[in-house]
Amino acid sequence: MSAHSAEISDATKSQAMRRVLGSAAIGQFVEWYDFVIYAYSAGIIAKLFFPNTDPVAALLATFAVYAVGFLMRPLGGFVFGSLGDRIGRRQVLSLVILMMGGATLAIGLLPTYDQIGIMAPILLVVCRLIQGLSAAGETVGSNSFVAEHAPAEKRGLYVAFTYSFANIPPIVAALLVLLLTNIMTADNYAGWGWRIPFLIGAPLALVGLYIRNKVDESPAFKATQAAKRVASTPIRDAVQNQKQQMMFSFALAAFSSLGFYTLSGYFVSYLTTTIMLDQNSALISNSVALFVAFVFMILGGKLSDIYGRKPLLIIGVLMNAAICIPAYMVASQGTLVSAIIGQSMLAVGCGLFWGPVGIALLELFPTRTRFSASAISYNMAYTIFGGTAPFIGVWLIMQSGNKFAPAYYMAAISVAVLVAILFMPETSKKSLIHDEDVN
């Protein structure tokens, strides 16, 4: 091959990798945007979609509907995980981004309780179920897609980069809600302005779909296809042969989901309803903290390529266990500065953990069952620990009267996950194509 031909080949590969990264990043953005915009709109949704009797009960009902979306995630993990291992990653990812965008658009168009009565919360639940079902395939699918395209020495960085885009939607959502609530009257925002963030989800999904249709299937899946080793029953194979790996994956996802949905889905409500911080300060401080997590997540992924996944996972979860209670104490001082500092303390530990967790979840499994095994264990954990994080936070404070109760809960989960990580194998130097994928 001539030097010129080699340059063209390298340029083509580089362009293809950029498309893969772009399609995965947009998919991550759309998935998490769909979920967090609901959480950031919880206050207005509670007023519009439930009987206006007890405000706390309405907020709990709103967060219960938020959690309902997660009930579909295990089912989505089974459905899309199996499809992804049998027909390929790209086709599944195209389907899920359309479903996510469509469900978010539908929420923005729903009539309220005053307009159609009990059908309003029922339709809201249906939309959340569709969101949960589709989201189950996005994170694991797009992370698999990136990992299986990436050069081995940059897998952690590339997956962390695209996975870190999960931190951008809460920032965009918070600033968008902040903008709308400040430029509109309260009546206009309650009447129609709250719908705008949901309606934006549809065009974002279409952009992601367009880019996904421009990329090829992953090389690892192609190699498994060529060897005629694509699993016909990937779920059964995973459950029979990879129980221990799925338990490790579940543990990693447990802390990952609790941390993410505490920071992005709960903390704004915690600051405004428990600490009585004004909404503008709560949204601004939360956006700053999530940007801190974004930066440290990419750093964590990069460092995991150098030092391995386990050291960074251990540092992240240890830091969180030690700092989450002081972080809540600082954030609860009731000022913008204290809210920024407290949440940013959480963001550093979570970010360092989230950086390597995306790739570590995948490296535990062979290509032929990777999507199924990781999607099932990941989404089970997200259902149990992520979907319930806002609800449990509110409930713990109500039951105990202690505004730091959610921090004690997070510290306990951190310690439990640390124990699991200590027994987990290091995976950073393993090929994503295992012997059973080609032999």
List pLDDT tens digits, range 356-370.
Answer: 999 999 999 999 999
pLDDT of residue 154: 93
Q: What does the alpha-carbon distance between residue 259 and residue 255 come to, in Å, rounded to a whole number?
A: 6
List pLDDT tens digits, range 56-76.
Answer: 666 667 767 766 777 888 888
* CATH number attached to the domain at 16-215+237-428: 1.20.1250.20
Q: What does the alpha-carbon distance between residue 337 and residue 151 come to, in Å, rounded to a whole number?
A: 41
Geometric angle at alpha carbon 124, from 119 and 126, rounded to 5°: 95
- Tell me the range of 4-8, 85-89, 121-125 where mean pLDDT is highest: 85-89
Judged by average pLDDT, the poorest of 23-32, 72-81, 152-161, 255-264 is: 23-32
Q: What does the alpha-carbon distance between residue 10 and residue 45 come to, in Å, rounded to a whole number?
A: 50
Q: What does the alpha-carbon distance between residue 36 and residue 291 come to, in Å, rounded to a whole number?
A: 15
| Confidence tier at 170 by pLDDT (50, 70, 90) | confident
Q: Of all residues in the chain, what percent carry a pLDDT higher than 70?
A: 94
Judged by average pLDDT, the poorest of 33-47, 191-205, 374-388, 418-432 is: 33-47
Q: What does the alpha-carbon distance between residue 101 and residue 330 come to, in Å, rounded to a whole number?
A: 37
List pLDDT tens digits, range 36-56.
Answer: 787 777 777 777 877 766 666
Judged by average pLDDT, the poorest of 42-46, 92-96, 430-434 is: 42-46
For residue 8, pLDDT over 50 is answered with no
> Tokens 């509109």 sit at which residue?
184
Closest CA to 253 of 103, 386, 364, 113: 386
CA distances in angstroms from 216 to 17, 173, 211, 219, 385, listed in the order given: 10, 31, 11, 8, 34
Mean pLDDT of the chain: 87
Judged by average pLDDT, the poorest of 73-77, 247-251, 312-316, 342-346 is: 73-77
List pLDDT tens digits, range 392-406.
Answer: 888 898 889 899 999
Q: What does the alpha-carbon distance between residue 216 and residue 19 come to, in Å, rounded to a whole number?
A: 10
What is the four-CA torsion angle of 109, 115, 121, 127, rounded to 10 degrees?
A: -20
Sign of the dihedral through C-alpha 110, 113, 115, 118? positive
Provide mean pLDDT across the span 19-38: 82
pLDDT of residue 4: 40
- Please report, for the chain, the start and end positions of each structural domain, with discontinuous segments joined by +: 16-215+237-428
For residue 430, pLDDT over 80 is answered with yes
